[in-house]
Amino acid sequence: MSESRHVPVMLQRCLDLLAPALERPGAVVVDCTLGLGGHSEAMLTRFPEARLIGLDRDKEALRLSGERLAPFGDRATLVHAVYDELPEVLDRLGIPRAHGVQGVLFDLGVSSMQLDEADRGFAYAQDAPLDMRMDQTTGMSAAEVLNTYPPGELVRILRAYGEEKQAKRIVSAVVREREKEPFSHSARLVQLIRDALPQAAKRTGGNPAKRTFQALRIEVNGELSVLERAIPAAVKALAVGGRIGVLSYHSLEDRLVKQVFAAGAASTAPPGLPVVPEEYQPRLKLLTRGAELPTEQEIAENRRAAPARFRGAERIREDVQ
């Protein structure tokens, strides 16, 4: 296992933001993106009274994090689930919705383990089967998406999820090549993208395949549609005084988190009311000014922290029924 796997992003900031909620006796915290358990291990260590529920859709991640968290015994409950299933998981574990949880943490995007396992197909730097499924027991692989989606749909995905300006050019090349032979491995796709792009486009922004791989990964795993459901569900699951922290790694995720937090922190009262009734009062207080970034020192020590954006909020009142 490579050491880079074990460096949780913005760890100290996550712990400090959640601390006022997790220092309470009997606190329950949900790590919605367990991965290899780095954030979870740190939370269980720093908050010895807290109970942790860890979710991951990747069975290999659950196995490895289970080994890591074994010393904490029954303080850690690990569940094979996608993070938008949070309400159902809490119900199954007998945590009353009326009671809520004290903390929720999301560390979005692809995990270090998935990037480091060559045969998962997430990394464009090494040849591997084009899979990209976080849960390899279900759903379409990236190769199936490339080989079967209509050209217009592929262009939409590359533009929307990869913010790829050259989407049409890349998709034209993909369609031409897949007719000769279906795609199965990443190296062929990386080479096709290099060949399809004009010189100017290759000179900026790192590996030219990066945006296409991101777009395929988001599509294969339904990441944005899952996130659209998961963040509001997580806010709803918080007890009053509970806190949520979210680490995002690209602008689409961060924008979605920002919108949910901003809506929760705003009054919904019609303008001009002399007194704002309870049901219109904000439910959230923002704990970060905009999105916080990792320090230069952290980026130097862990290059995967570079694109991270962190936002936090606190639940300040119940939903009025």
Domains and CATH numbers, the chain: 3-113+223-315 (3.40.50.150), 118-221 (1.10.150.170)
CA 186 to chain centre: 23
Check residue 48 and report its DSSP letter: T
Q: Using one digit for the tens of pLDDT, what is the confidence trace for 170-193?
A: 999 999 999 999 999 999 999 999
Report pLDDT for 119. 53
Residue 16's CB: how many other CB atoms inside 10 A?
Answer: 13
Collect the ranges in the chain with pLDDT lower than 70.
1-6, 109-125, 201-205, 320-321
83 annotated as ligand-binding = yes
Q: Using one digit for the tens of pLDDT, what is the confidence trace for 229-280?
A: 999 999 999 999 999 999 998 888 999 999 999 999 998 888 888 888 888 8
37 annotated as ligand-binding = yes
Cβ atoms of 313 and 235 within 8 Å: the answer is: yes
Coil, strand or helix at 102: strand
259 annotated as ligand-binding = no
38 annotated as ligand-binding = yes
Check residue 285 and report its DSSP letter: E
Residue type, 316: I
107 annotated as ligand-binding = yes
Dump the DSSP string for 163-219. --TTHHHHHHHHHHHHHHS---BHHHHHHHHHHHS-HHHHTSSS-TTHHHHHHHHHH
